[in-house]
Structure formats: C-alpha cells, structure tokens
A and B are shown apart, each in its own frame.
Chain A
Amino acid sequence: MAAHNLGTELDLSWISKVQVNHPAVLRRAQQVQARRTVKKEWQAAWLLKAVTFIDLTTLSGDDTSSNVQRLCYKAKYPIREDLLKALNMHDKDITTAAVCVYPARVCDAVRALKAAGCNIPVASVATGFPAGQTHLKTRLEEIRLAVEDGASEIDVVINRSLVLTGQWEALYDEIRQFRKACGEAHLKTILATGELGSLTNVYKASMIAMMAGSDFIKTSTGKETVNATFPVAIVMLRAIRDFFWKTGNKIGFKPAGGIRSAKDALAWLSLIKEELGDEWLKPELFRIGASTLLSDIERQIYHHVTGRYAAYHDLPMS
C-alpha cells in the first residue's frame, strides 16, 4: 500500500463555508447510476477488477477460526480457476484487496492467510465497533492490540456525538490519536454516515478525517440502518477531490454495507471513475467492504464465460 497520509494541521476554514444541497445531490446520484453501463467483456473485466477492490468481510457474533479460514481462502481464490483461464486472466493473481474481521479474529486470519501462502492484508475493525461508544483509552488500546496481532489496516469508527454537536477539534484530536496508535498500519476511518444527520455533516466529517491523517474514509459500519448510498458517496468523493486539490494527497474511499450485487459493484466503479477519475481505481485508493458481493460477481463471470446461469453449488462458498 502507498505511503501514509500524514494529514495536515486542523484548518476549520476548509469546512466552515461548505454547502451541500441535498436534493441536488440526490438527483446527481440518480443520474450517475443510470448514465453508464458496461456490457460483455467490458463487464467481465470490470467485475474482475471489482474483485480486487473487495475487503472481504465477516463481522458476525458467531465468527470462529473455521469460517475465518474459509473466508481467507476465498480471498486468495475469489474466482474459479477455470473461469479465469477462459478469460485469459489466470496469471493476473486476482485476489481480494484484504480480509476484514473483528479484532479477536485477527490472529486467525493472519494464520490462515499465511497458510494459504499469500500476503493479502488483514484489516480489523476497532475503536468500539460499530457504535464507538466506549472510552477513548480502551478504543486506542484496541487499535494497538489489533496491530500487534498482525492487522495492517485498521477500520476505526468515529465518535458520532462529536459530529452531531459540532466538536470538530475534538474529532480531529481523536482521529489524530487513532492515527498514532496505528503506527505503520493504515487508518481507515468509518464515518457512519447514516448517523450524521445531514450531507453537510458528511462533508465536514470527511474533511476532518482526512486532515487528521486517515488513509481511507469509509461510509458506514454496515450496522447502521442506512449504509453506503450514492448521495453520501458523492459528497465524500467531492471532499476527497477538494482535499486532493488543497494538499495534493490522494485519500482512498471505501463504501461498505449493502453492496450485494455485481450490478451495484459496477455502478460504484463507474461513480469513482466519473467523480475522481481512473487514478482512484486501484486497491490503494478504492475498496468495497462486502461479504456476499463476491459470490454474485463470481456467478456473473460464470454466466459470461459459459452462457449459463450457475447453480448455487457450482461455485465454492466463502
């Protein structure tokens, strides 16, 4: 992964005058989803690319080492070998971008991936995921422990109450401390946009998170009632663009939650392409947090290659 975002000094003038018009963003979101479509080999290639953006995730209360191991092998072999061969893509080393687990499962994941003989990074959620309603001290400790266990990416959740009460400096300071606790690991900051109240808040929180040194900003935990939506994404992408124009730093973007179909994945790729351009279409700058998306993509690839719709048992589970 690329070098860290070192962040900048807190500059509240970057957010004080921001205006986000909700209905206009909704219209743009509607348009951008319908505007472009890719078909045939373009679709197949785009879907394979989408696989390389996936943070293959399991965040369940009943996660154990066995299903984490299964997940890790699926991350290493996301698409059936013969299908890749048919597309002449078998030598491209297509894997998912990372696997994403709870802190307590990081060790299992690291072990499984090592056994599979690959260096796919392990991402861990942290800081009182998903609500973030624990003491700062324990949240920081959680990050350190996950890093110690071998996680190289940390998905932290922000303290929503700081956003809703407009305590931007406190939010900046907290994320700064997360950054420090991460050490060499990458910091992915979950804004939990479904709980921020307005799109203007989404923009402001995005900007603060980037100033504080986040390598990625991420839409949601997947546990809120509203997850990754296009309008929210548009606002976050515009913030990323503004931050790039101001500092020259490219910050990554990760939608998560509710992205289940191959068609959704294509729409997300198209959105990134339209709003940020091709430079952002690489795993260093774009991730999709998903658990069931991969199997739908594999089914579509299967259909593209064979011309038939796959049965449930035709494709190996994760």
Chain B
Amino acid sequence: MAAATRTAPRAREIFTTLEYGPAPESHACALAWLDTQDRHLGHYVNGKWLKPEHRNSVPCQDPITGENLASCLQAQAEDVAAAVEAARTALENWSTLPGARRAQHLTRLAKMIQKHQRLLWTLESLVTGRAVREVRDRDVPLAQQLLQYHAVQAHTQEEALAGWEPMGVIGLIVPPTFSFLEMMWRICPALAVGCTVVVLVPPASPAPLLLAQLAGELGSFPGILNVISGPTSLGPVLASQPGVQKVAFCGAVEEGRALRRTLAGQGLELSLALGAESLLLLTEAADVDSAVEGVVDATWSDRSQVFQAGDVPSDSPFYPPTLISDLPPASPCAQTEVPWPLVVASPFRTAKEALAVANGTPRGGSASVWSERLGQALELGYGLRMGIVWINAHGLRDPAVPTGGCKESGSSWHGGPDGLYEYLQPSGTPARQPSLSENLNYDTFGLAVPSTLPAGPETGPSPAPPYGLFVGGRFQAPGARSSRPIQDSHGNLHGYVAEGGAKDIRGAVEAAHQAAPGWVGQSPGARAALLGALAAALERRESALAARLERHGVELKVAKAEVELSVRRLRAWGARAQAQGHTLQVAELRGPVLRLREPLGVLAIVCPDEWPLLAFVSLLAPALAHGNTVVLVPSGTCPIPALEVCQDVATLLPAGLVNVVTGDRDHLTRCMALHQDVQALWYFGSVQGSQFVEWASAGNLKPVWVNRGLPRAWDQDAEGAGPELGLRAAQTKALWLPMGD
C-alpha cells in the first residue's frame, strides 16, 4: 500500500521544537444544541422553555474568539414569579413522595447526563473557555456522582432523617464565575430531601439551562428544577416570592453581606458560601514539590475560576496567574478579593505563628497543610479555623464529604450529611410568615435604654434575689450603675436586677473569649461531668427555684416540673455531646476524612421571656456541651431564676464560661448582634428584634438563629431539646487525611 495520501508539512518542524499543538475538540455538538434554540436562550421553567417577549437580552460569547454564540434573555420579576410558581406546584407532589421514588428520579437524571455528557462538556467549555479535560474528566463525572450519592440519601431518608421535613421551595443564586458544578452541589441535596428549586444563573450560562432541560425531559416531575437567567440583582426578587423558604447564595463576600441585609426580616433562611480564597501552609517538613503542585491546583481550583473573560491586562483573554511574595497581612492588597489566579506567599516561623496568621483573617473557607510530620500536620489541621482542611493535598472533593466554611466565608454546607440538613427543617416547623417591618429603623433599634426609677416598696422575698451582672465568674455591678425593677405576677416588686449596657456586653464577650481555650480543651466527658454537677446543684436548689417561678404566677406543681425538666436537659446534653463527629469513607481516597464538630466560639443567646428557667437551661446546655462559651440575656420579665442558677455556676464552672447580662433586651440584643467578635447569636424575642439581628449579623456574617416572634414549646423534647439545637450549637469541619507511603 503506497503511502503519501496525506502529508504533514509541519511535522518536520515540530520534530525539532517538540512544541504542544492545538488539541481541538469539536464544538459542533454544542453549536447544534444552540441551534435547536435558534441561538436564542430563554429560561427553563416547569419542564418547558420559557421565552417571554419584550425582554432585554445579552449576548453569550466565546471568551476566546469573542464570537457571538447566542443571545440570552434577561429575566424580569414576572419570570421569576412564574418559576417560583412552578416550583411551588411541583413541591406538593415531590415533597410527599417516598424517598425511594425521588432516588429513582435522581438516578435517571444521572443516566441522562451520562448519555449527553459530550454535549454538556463541550457547551461548558465553549462558553466558559475552560479546558475540555477539566470539565470532561472532573466536573461531568462529579455531577453524576453527586446525583448518585444523593439518590442513596433520598433512599434512606425516612429512616435516617426521621423528624425532619423538606423546607420547601429553594432559591439558589449562582454568580458568573462558578461552574455548573456549584449548582449541582446544591440542587442534589435539595431535590433528594424533597425540596424543589429555582436557580437564578447569570445571563449567558447555558450549561445550567441544559441541565434543567435534561431533567425536564425525564418527563415526570417537571418543575422540580427551574433555571432562569438574569442579573444577581434579581436575588431579592426571587427571595421575596411567597413560597420561597430558603435562599442559598454563592458569590463574593460583599454581595453576600448586602443580600443578608436586604433579606433581614423576610422570614426565610439564607445560606451563604462566599469568597474563593484558599490557604496553603507549607512547612519545612513538607514534600515541597508536591506542595507546589498543590499551589497550582489551588490557583486553578473550581471555586476560583481563573479563566476570566473581560478586561484583561494582556493579549490573552485570560488573566495571567500572579504570584506576590512577602506581602504583610496589613497590606491593603492582602485584604482585597480578586477574581484572577493570584498566589500570595507569606513567611511564618513556627506552627503557632502560622495558625495566628491563618486564623487572623475574616476568611474561613479551605486550607491545606503540607507536612510529613504527623504531629505537626494534625496540630495545624485541627487548629485552623476553616471549613475544610486537607493534609498534604489540596482541592479534593467528594459528594460524601461536607464542603463549607466558617466566619466570613459563610457557614453553609454542601455534600455529606451537612448538605442535607441545609434543606431540612424539624417536622412541624410553621411555614414562612411575612413579618417584615418596613419601618424598623436599624440605626435606632435598641439604641437608647429607658431610664428606670425606684418602683415602690420592696416586699422582701426571702432570701433576697442575687443582684448584679454575672460576668467572668462573679456578680458585678453594671457599668451604668443603675437597676431595673422586676415585678411579680401580682405587679408587686420582686426585686431589682442590674441594668447592663454596651460596656457590660463587651466585658462579658471578653470574659467568654478568655474562657474559650480552656473549655474547648476539655474532653466531652469532662464537660458532661461539669454539666452533671450543675444539674445536681439545680436539684438541691429546687425549692428556691420553684418559689421564684411561683412568684411569677407559675403553679407550684408546674414550677417543680420545670425545674426537674431543666435538670434533665443538662444531663441529657452532657451525654449527647460525647458522640461527636465521625469518620467518612471516600471512594478512591485511601485514608479517612474526619467530620469534626467544633464549637462556634463565643455564642450569644437572648432567651425568650416565657419558660424563664427551662428555656434558659435548654439553650445553655447544648451550647456548653458542644464546647462554646456563652453570653446570655435571660428572660426579661423573669430573669431571677437564671441569676439564681448563676450562683451555682460561679462555684462549679470555670470563670467566664457562662456570662449572664440583664437589662433592656433590645439594647443588649443590639450590642451583641453588632459585636464583631461574637461568633454566633441565637435570638428568641420579638419580630423586630429578629429582623434587627438578621440585619446586624451581616457585619461579621455570624450564623444567627431567630424565632421571628414565634413561641416555642420548650417543655416538649422536639422543640426544647431536639437535634436542631445540637446541629446549631457546633460547626462542621472536614479534615482530609490521605494516606500512603
């Protein structure tokens, strides 16, 4: 057979240079799909394409060539409403299905993706400019794994997640620089547990639309996944639609902060996943070459989409990767969020210093530790205040491992058990109530403390109630040196309590911070023992406590029952906190992933007015059991039983662990919500107070739990001691420990 049919004129030259050539992947498939839409993309709602007229459209361009690929409609409020309506309708059926049926549907979607994977990867690569292999070899398989993992979770849901129900319609907001995987990470658990989803994607993101189409073409259950494209500014519109129970947002920190403020008081849950920075700690005991590969992985990780079309400083349509070394933490550059691949290298001298530098930023996303010394690696891994820590690896992800963050990186999770709880609520949780106070003035809420004057004759209860703020292990006079009268159920003066203020909160938070390292260092067993001792002390004080409650109109028998139940709560949480965290097994990874449950830090709690003793103890016990230190504001109408408990706390627990500040609840709430060094806040009070707390939490993005003015059945185990409290009292951390020699 004669050769010479096709010649390669350049082979000779390449033989000498050995350069890489283009490895073109035909985009014909993606273009053909765009043609089926006449190069005109709308939204995908309720299993159908939605292309309303009279809308603006934006071009979808190939970032490499600048070629116009299609035009994409920009949604308006009514399109958002239509999508939410579809999701609401779908929810009725979807949420009541047996888990096994949902599992089946998710598995079918996984197979659908498998059948059309070439279309998916060529489309994503064409539109984002990301390398085909990255999408094909990593994103597409992971998308299928996510569906399969969550199908299994749906299967076992009735058994494993008894007592929880789906939240409802979820609004998901994805920013421009995230791949379709970010959407998959969140919709999979939401759909698995029975929620339906409306995704707001940035204009010109065809891959999410394609995924919605693939889901829609499964036939059954249209409307469980709806994708609309439009600017992020539509986020609040999406959130304000009746029926939306939760908004999950991923994007830039400042956008997340703004959204937190906007959505305050709207009665929905908001979860944030913010920023994209990741940290590497490279020690002298590291395999440096491997760590360098880790740096490269981190720079090109999927969260920090490095290939950015747009204003670019060079000829290439992509930002050039950048390395900055010796940048001190105080440099303004070190504190800015940038979208391009940037590596900032800073030296550290000791492990302690590394932790101080790494933890000394508002970010708490992910980090890797590079050290071959086991002790050092674990010390750093446990010490980092981050959502995810990889030891001698970077950027590993798996559907079974929770991924998330803390601090200003947002404390939301996807993957693993934590990802499921993001879309669940305890069964029987009342539906969203519109409770927004339009005229709540954030500047003045709780700012002024009404003056309190002597309130008539002290009728002299015996013994006299304890007086003072309980801060740092002892009763102290308030900074304002004034007091407020507490009346009993007959309107008579029961006694005076101290009028706490901003400085007292500051002191209490400081005391709590000082106590924190010692308390975290205690074993769960030691914590349980101390809670047990406190329970025993309460038992001894039963008659005094019951008498206090009785003066506030509680029947003696009921009062005794309240004390008894409080004692039980302390013991129960002490025991429960023993079983914390667990090990996850990940396919393809040799070695374990530890799912750690770590304390939040300093937890501020505003107790409800009702159940003055039981609610106080029911909130205090899980907080302490999980290793937090606390600043509490007790019941406003009846704070004395809480102060009574403090007398035992003073003798039994380390100083500063529990701090109780009495005074004007709105004022104290304001001080704590605006305090940047309070790591979490639970608020049980008024509608306005709840709204204020949500608004103010945007400052340091502390996780908050508010009751929106709704009462809670503290005497029922489900609400007074349910797993929800344990879930909220600690934060997850995933510690990856790959092994091998």
A-B complex is real: yes
A83 interfacial by beta-carbon distance below 8 Å = yes
With contact pairs A21-B290, A24-B290 given, residues A41 and B10 touching in the complex (Cβ less than 8 Å): yes
Q: Let me know if B1 and A306 touch, CB within 8 A.
A: yes
Picked from B2, B9, B590, B741, the residue with its CB within 8 Å of the CB of A88 is: B9
> Interface residues of B: mostly helix, strand, loop or mixed?
loop
Number of A residues, CB within 8 Å of B: 49
Contact with A along B1-23 (1 / 0, CB 8 A): 11111111111111100111111
A1 interfacial by beta-carbon distance below 8 Å = no
For B286, the chain A residues whose CB sits under 8 A away are 19, 21
Contact with B along A184-225 (1 / 0, CB 8 A): 000000000000001110000000000000000000000000
Instruction: Give chain B nearest CB distance to A267 CB in angstroms.
Output: 13
B133 interfacial by beta-carbon distance below 8 Å = yes
Instruction: Give chain B nearest CB distance to A46 CB in angstroms.
Output: 7
Q: Let me know if A306 and B18 touch, CB within 8 A.
A: no
* In the complex, residue of chain B having the shortest beta-carbon distance to the beta carbon of A275: B289
Instruction: Give chain A nearest CB distance to B585 CB in angstroms.
Output: 15
Instruction: Give chain A nearest CB distance to B284 CB in angstroms.
Output: 8
A89 interfacial by beta-carbon distance below 8 Å = yes
Q: Let me know if A85 and B3 touch, CB within 8 A.
A: yes
Q: Let me know if A86 and B12 touch, CB within 8 A.
A: no
For B294, the chain A residues whose CB sits under 8 A away are 24
A28 interfacial by beta-carbon distance below 8 Å = yes
Q: Let me know if B289 and A238 touch, CB within 8 A.
A: yes
B148 interfacial by beta-carbon distance below 8 Å = no
Contact with B along A122-151 (1 / 0, CB 8 A): 000000000000000000000000000000
The CA of A84 and the CA of B620, in the complex, are separated in Å by 82
Instruction: Give chain B nearest CB distance to A184 CB in angstroms.
Output: 29
Picked from B133, B370, B740, the residue with its CB within 8 Å of the CB of A22 is: B740
Q: Let me know if A28 and B290 touch, CB within 8 A.
A: yes
Q: Let me know if B8 and A87 touch, CB within 8 A.
A: yes
For A281, the chain B residues whose CB sits under 8 A away are 18
A176 interfacial by beta-carbon distance below 8 Å = no
Contact with B along A29-48 (1 / 0, CB 8 A): 00100111111111011101
Q: Let me know if A49 and B290 touch, CB within 8 A.
A: no
Q: Let me know if A23 and B21 touch, CB within 8 A.
A: no
Instruction: Give chain A nearest CB distance to B155 CB in angstroms.
Output: 31
The CA of A93 and the CA of B2, in the complex, are separated in Å by 21
Instruction: Give chain B nearest CB distance to A93 CB in angstroms.
Output: 12
With contact pairs A21-B290, A24-B294, A35-B133 given, residues A306 and B11 touching in the complex (Cβ less than 8 Å): no
CB-contacts of B392-406 with A (<8 A): 392-393
CB-contacts of B269-289 with A (<8 A): 285-287, 289
For A46, the chain B residues whose CB sits under 8 A away are 14, 18
Q: Let me know if B392 and A21 touch, CB within 8 A.
A: yes
B738 interfacial by beta-carbon distance below 8 Å = yes
CB-contacts of B122-180 with A (<8 A): 133, 137
B448 interfacial by beta-carbon distance below 8 Å = no
Q: Let me know if B392 and A92 touch, CB within 8 A.
A: no
* In the complex, residue of chain A having the shortest beta-carbon distance to the beta carbon of B24: A39
A26 interfacial by beta-carbon distance below 8 Å = yes
The CA of A45 and the CA of B17, in the complex, are separated in Å by 10
Picked from A22, A42, A45, A305, the residue with its CB within 8 Å of the CB of B3 is: A305
A80 interfacial by beta-carbon distance below 8 Å = yes
Picked from A23, A31, A83, the residue with its CB within 8 Å of the CB of B590 is: A23
A263 interfacial by beta-carbon distance below 8 Å = no
For B10, the chain A residues whose CB sits under 8 A away are 41, 45
Picked from A23, A34, A278, the residue with its CB within 8 Å of the CB of B18 is: A278
Contact with A along B642-654 (1 / 0, CB 8 A): 0000000000000
Q: Let me know if B3 and A302 touch, CB within 8 A.
A: yes
CB-contacts of B250-301 with A (<8 A): 285-287, 289-291, 293-294
The CA of A23 and the CA of B589, in the complex, are separated in Å by 9
Q: Let me know if B11 and A21 touch, CB within 8 A.
A: no
Q: Let me know if A305 and B5 touch, CB within 8 A.
A: yes
CB-contacts of A10-26 with B (<8 A): 19-26
The CA of A21 and the CA of B591, in the complex, are separated in Å by 13
Instruction: Give chain A nearest CB distance to B638 CB in angstroms.
Output: 58
Picked from B5, B15, B293, the residue with its CB within 8 Å of the CB of A28 is: B293
Q: Let me know if A38 and B372 touch, CB within 8 A.
A: no
* In the complex, residue of chain B having the shortest beta-carbon distance to the beta carbon of A32: B293
CB-contacts of A59-93 with B (<8 A): 80, 82-83, 85-89, 92
With contact pairs A87-B11, A88-B11 given, residues A24 and B18 touching in the complex (Cβ less than 8 Å): no
For B1, the chain A residues whose CB sits under 8 A away are 306, 308, 314
Q: Let me know if A89 and B18 touch, CB within 8 A.
A: no
B579 interfacial by beta-carbon distance below 8 Å = no
Among A24, A39, A92, max chain B CB count under 10 A is at A24
B587 interfacial by beta-carbon distance below 8 Å = no
Q: Let me know if B741 and A198 touch, CB within 8 A.
A: yes
Q: Let me know if B24 and A88 touch, CB within 8 A.
A: no
Q: Let me know if B4 and A24 touch, CB within 8 A.
A: no
For A88, the chain B residues whose CB sits under 8 A away are 7-9, 11-12
Q: Let me know if A42 and B20 touch, CB within 8 A.
A: yes
With contact pairs A38-B20, A42-B20 given, residues A86 and B739 touching in the complex (Cβ less than 8 Å): no
A304 interfacial by beta-carbon distance below 8 Å = yes
Q: Let me know if A24 and B21 touch, CB within 8 A.
A: no
The CA of A83 and the CA of B11, in the complex, are separated in Å by 12
Q: Let me know if B18 and A49 touch, CB within 8 A.
A: yes
For A83, the chain B residues whose CB sits under 8 A away are 3
Q: Let me know if A269 and B18 touch, CB within 8 A.
A: yes
The CA of A199 and the CA of B290, in the complex, are separated in Å by 13
Q: Let me know if A82 and B287 touch, CB within 8 A.
A: no
For B8, the chain A residues whose CB sits under 8 A away are 40-41, 44-45, 86-88, 304
Q: Let me know if A86 and B3 touch, CB within 8 A.
A: yes
Among A21, A40, A49, A198, max chain B CB count under 10 A is at A21
CB-contacts of B566-615 with A (<8 A): 590-591
Q: Let me know if B4 and A86 touch, CB within 8 A.
A: yes
Q: Let me know if A87 and B287 touch, CB within 8 A.
A: no
The CA of A306 and the CA of B133, in the complex, are separated in Å by 28
The CA of A68 and the CA of B115, in the complex, are separated in Å by 51
With contact pairs A28-B293, A46-B14 given, residues A37 and B23 touching in the complex (Cβ less than 8 Å): yes
Contact with A along B665-687 (1 / 0, CB 8 A): 00000000000000000000000
CB-contacts of B1-57 with A (<8 A): 1-15, 18-24
Q: Let me know if A40 and B21 touch, CB within 8 A.
A: yes
Instruction: Give chain B nearest CB distance to A268 CB in angstroms.
Output: 13
Q: Let me know if A23 and B392 touch, CB within 8 A.
A: yes
Instruction: Give chain A nearest CB distance to B20 CB in angstroms.
Output: 6
Picked from B15, B21, B22, B137, the residue with its CB within 8 Å of the CB of A48 is: B15
A307 interfacial by beta-carbon distance below 8 Å = yes
A273 interfacial by beta-carbon distance below 8 Å = yes
Instruction: Give chain A nearest CB distance to B102 CB in angstroms.
Output: 34
Q: Let me know if A41 and B14 touch, CB within 8 A.
A: yes
Q: Let me know if B287 and A24 touch, CB within 8 A.
A: yes
Among A23, A26, A198, max chain B CB count under 10 A is at A23
A27 interfacial by beta-carbon distance below 8 Å = yes
For A25, the chain B residues whose CB sits under 8 A away are 287, 290
For A28, the chain B residues whose CB sits under 8 A away are 290, 293
Picked from B6, B14, B18, B287, the residue with its CB within 8 Å of the CB of A305 is: B6
The CA of A49 and the CA of B19, in the complex, are separated in Å by 12
Q: A21-B290, A24-B291 are in contact. List 16 more A-B contacts (CB 8 A).
A: A21-B286, A24-B290, A24-B293, A35-B133, A36-B23, A42-B14, A45-B18, A48-B11, A82-B2, A82-B4, A86-B4, A87-B7, A89-B15, A92-B15, A305-B6, A307-B6
CB pairs A–B below 8 angstroms (11 shown): A20-B287, A21-B287, A21-B392, A23-B591, A46-B18, A86-B5, A86-B6, A87-B8, A87-B11, A238-B289, A304-B6
4 pairs of A and B residues whose beta carbons are closest in the complex: A42-B21, A24-B290, A45-B14, A22-B740
